[in-house]
Amino acid sequence: MSPIFAIIERELKAYFVSPIAYVVIAMFLALSGYFFAAILFLTKDASMTYQLSNMAVILLLLSPMISMRLLAEEQRQGTLELLCTSPITDAGIVIGKYVAALGLLAVMLLFTGYGPAILFMYAKPELQPILSGYLGLFLVGAAFLAIGVMASAWTKNQIVAAAISFAICLILWILGASSSMAAGGSWGSELINYLALEPHFGSFVKGVFDTSDIIYYFSLSAVAIFIAIRSLESRRWR
């Protein structure tokens, strides 16, 4: 088994041995289930549009709980130095932990499959918006977790890591509202709107597969993971 797969296996076991995974999954399912039932009751519309948007906000709240311990706990316990001296690169450590977090995210989203299943049992919803919406939801969650890994690399304190992660994700999520403060159509307004997380997610919910939105989420996640790797590498010089 390669070192990076060993890291992934180790982190997945750590999630499910501790209460973290069960608490996060339970909270996610409870909140998403409540909103699904409430929206379906109020709108009588066989659509996942509003539900997927609510699930993205729930991920914004819960993703720091998934990512906060990944590197911060290793630093606090002093086990990060052992990992750094093992036959694996700093990039391998960060990527392995990040992939494990993505695995937990995938499990969480998989458990919400009851929603589309119920809609298809009793109605005929459009399939493409649901598929594209779930893809967008995974990409949003992946960006949240990448930012969380980056924050976890900056501190030994899990609570501080969670707070930093939540603050950055929240700012990026609501950044689109700030574009209205800039002159309409100006480069500043367009730049702010492009950097915001939420506008890129909106196209997925509508059933639109826009390459620029996919590139945006991949780029944001890649930048956050790169910064996390560089932060880990900088420890060697302290």
What is the rounded (10 degree) CA torsion for 200, 205, 209, 212? 0
| Alpha-carbon gap, residue 210 to 85, rounded angstroms | 42
| Higher local confidence (pLDDT), 149 or 17 | 149
Instruction: Give 89-138 as a DSSP string.
Output: -HHHHHHHHHHHHHHHHHHHHHHTTHHHHHHHHHS---HHHHHHHHHHHH
**Mean local confidence (pLDDT), 91-118:** 89
3-class secondary structure, 168: helix
pLDDT at residue 81 in the model: 64
pLDDT at residue 128 in the model: 85
Q: Do 93 and 232 contact (CB within 8 A), yes or no? A: yes
Domain ranges of the chain: 3-237
| Alpha-carbon gap, residue 45 to 40, rounded angstroms | 6
Looking at the chain, list the stretches that DSSP marks H as alpha helix, in order from N- to C-terminal side. Answer: 3-17, 20-43, 49-67, 72-77, 80-85, 90-111, 114-122, 127-152, 158-178, 187-195, 197-205, 211-234
| Higher local confidence (pLDDT), 74 or 213 | 213
**What residue has token string 């992660």?**
165
**Mean local confidence (pLDDT), 50-61:** 89
**Mean local confidence (pLDDT), 96-105:** 92
pTM of the entire structure?
0.89
Closest CA to 94 of 189, 213, 207, 233: 233
Q: Is the pLDDT of residue 180 over 60?
A: no
